[in-house]
Amino acid sequence: MSVRVRVPTPLRKFTQGVDEVSAQGANIKALVEDLEKNFPGIKERICDETGKIRRFVNVYVNGDDIRFLQNLETALKEGDNISIVPAIAGGC
Amino acid sequence: MSFVRGLQCRECGQEYPKEPLHVCETCFGPLEIVYDYDAIKKSISREKIASRDKNLWRYRELLPIDGEAQAGLYSGFTPLVRARRLGEALGVKELYIKDDSVNHPTFSYKDRVVAVAISKAIEFGFDTVSCASTGNLANAVAAHAARAGLNCYVFIPDGLEQGKIIGSAIYGPKTIAIKGNYDDVNRLCSEIGDKYGWAFVNVNLRPYYSEGAKTHGFEVAEQLGWKLPRHIVVASAGGTILPKLSKGFKELVKVGLVEDTGYKIYSAQAAGCAPIINALQKGTDLISPVKPNTIASSIAIGNPADGYYVLQAVRESGGWGESVTDKEILEAIHLLAQTEGIFTEPAGGTEVAVTKKLIQNGNIPRQESIVISITGNGYKTLEAVAGSVEKPLTITATLENFDALYQQLNPTVTAKAASG
């Protein structure tokens, strides 16, 4: 089973500049581990020391924020689109 | 001459050069401008500021541009209105309205941040500017871009008020409405910004852009006779302005323009979109995003990226925050209009209604000075109040008809007495 992951600019140094990669994982947690296996160092940028997604990182599955789903436990299925997006503010 | 030393991550402290960067490569934390305050202190003075034009660039030492200001030469320096009648209605002694509903040229506080962002975009050599917006920011970006002769794309959620849509379109940008709410727009824009290399004022220029918000606070202090306000209430959406007011007040102390008399800062949100107030009142640092459902569309941001810093600034100052229902927001819009002659949008209604609640709950004492920051203009959001104002009384053009109508409106006064 594989999903597509869109990689934001600050993380592309880990993916040799590629902006979209394939990855595996039954849920977000497993997906992050899989990314780390192929792109060593990337996990530390996405997760804090306790393993939680960093405060200023938003993760979306098919456009839905995982905080509205089951966070790291959010289940993934074949062909899902994952976006990792730095939180941005200001825009009223 | 510029006093900017560079950029620094607010979270991990990593330093970066002055470039169009907004996110720390190490921890994704937001980047902040670092100034040389010692040098600023030597250079700036109240007299120097007073000698300059009445626009937001009068505080230029504390703004992140290198050359001359390129945009917003008429923005800022909005009135600080002594609100006696509203103060009486709320039962407080000294109340002021900082009225950014009349900011130039697009009638919201966003003219401040955009003035700085567009100036910076020109310094960086961008030819296209853009933004993700709930409306006011799009209006400001479109107008300032038109005057600067830059290409412009603005991204908004679909379903905004007409005034906000036309208020951008008139300046000739490409307006792209995204099916969804602001948080969907925001997410898409961070991906577009990454790909197209435009100056997204609230994405890759955010560290520069957000500095413009400080000028709202600088002006309040200057207009109070170089004093910090005791209490200041402002709405929170994405969380830009409140932490920047706080930063600005501290800077004024640091460079010797005001005495450190302390201030308390209060956040206002609509009950239908109150992720920051929820966290504040729960006593947590963790902000759970919400799906917005409120008439206050300009502050309907369910996933506020700088919400954490709002909490920090509010708590550090000893302030507080409240949320209010759409009904309370509407009543407050009417109250402000009918006591002070200022017509604000629902975001401003939220600020007034929250102030009222904070006073009633005893969070803000009645004897000390209070500033309400009014950040947007009611003429842009007529739909929000259209159903709650009196309809015109239509008659034919005869004096008899008016006499009859007058009698109807004032049954206890005789027509003769009325004509005096």
* Residue extents of the structural domains in chain B: 80-106+210-387, 391-420
Nearest to A92 among B25, B28, B136 (CB): B136
Say what the alpha-carbon torsion angle B245, B249, B252, B258 is, to the nearest 10 degrees.
140
Q: Chain B: residue nearest A90 by CA?
A: B238
Q: Which amino acid, B305?
A: A
The answer to whether B230 and B371 are in contact (CB under 8 A) is no
- Tell me the residues of A at the B interface, defined by beta carbons under 8 Å apart: 6, 8-10, 13, 19, 45, 54-58, 60, 63, 65, 67-68, 83, 85-92
pLDDT at B415 over 80: no
**DSSP character for A54?**
P
Q: Tell me how far apart the alpha carbons of residues B360 and B205 are, in angstroms, rounded to a whole number.
A: 40
Are A92 and B298 inside 8 Å of each other by CB?
yes
Show residues of chain B in contact with A85, CB under 8 Å: 187, 190-191
pTM, to two decimals: 0.93
- Helices B214-223/B241-254 angle, 10° precision: 50
Fold of B80-106+210-387: Rossmann fold (3.40.50)
Q: What angle (nearest 5°) sits at the alpha carbon of residue B67, between those of residues B64 and B73?
A: 80
Are A54 and B194 inside 8 Å of each other by CB?
no
Q: What is the ipTM of this complex?
A: 0.79
Over range B393-401, report the average pLDDT: 96
Nearest to B29 among A9, A56, A92 (CB): A56
Q: Let me know how long chain A is.
A: 92
Which B residues in the span 136-175 are in contact with A, Cβ-Cβ below 8 Å? Answer: 136-137
A61 bridge partner residues: A64, A82
pLDDT mean across residues, chain B: 95
- Asked whether the CA dihedral A85, A90, B1, B4 is positive or negative, the reply is negative
Over range B39-47, report the average pLDDT: 98
Q: What percent of chain B has pLDDT over 70?
A: 98
Residue B276: closest CA among B245, B308, B300, B246: B308
Q: Which pLDDT does position A55 carry in this prediction?
A: 85
pLDDT in tens, chain A (92 residues): 799 999 988 899 999 999 999 999 999 999 999 999 999 999 999 999 899 999 889 899 998 889 889 999 999 999 999 999 887 655 66
Are B30 and A19 inside 8 Å of each other by CB?
no
Q: What angle (nearest 5°) sits at the alpha carbon of residue B353, between those of residues B349 and B354?
A: 115
Q: What are phi and psi of B232, to 5 degrees?
A: -140, 135
Q: Tell me how far apart the alpha carbons of residues A5 and B109 are, in angstroms, rounded to a whole number.
A: 37
Over range B146-162, report the average pLDDT: 94
Q: Chain A within 8 Å of B292 (Cβ-Cβ)?
A: no
B159 backbone φψ class: left, alpha, beta (φ>0; ψ -120 to 50): left
Show residues of chain A in contact with B110, CB under 8 Å: 92
Nearest to B28 among A56, A60, A89 (CB): A56
Provide the terminal-to-terminal Cα distance of chain A, rounded to the nearest Å. 40
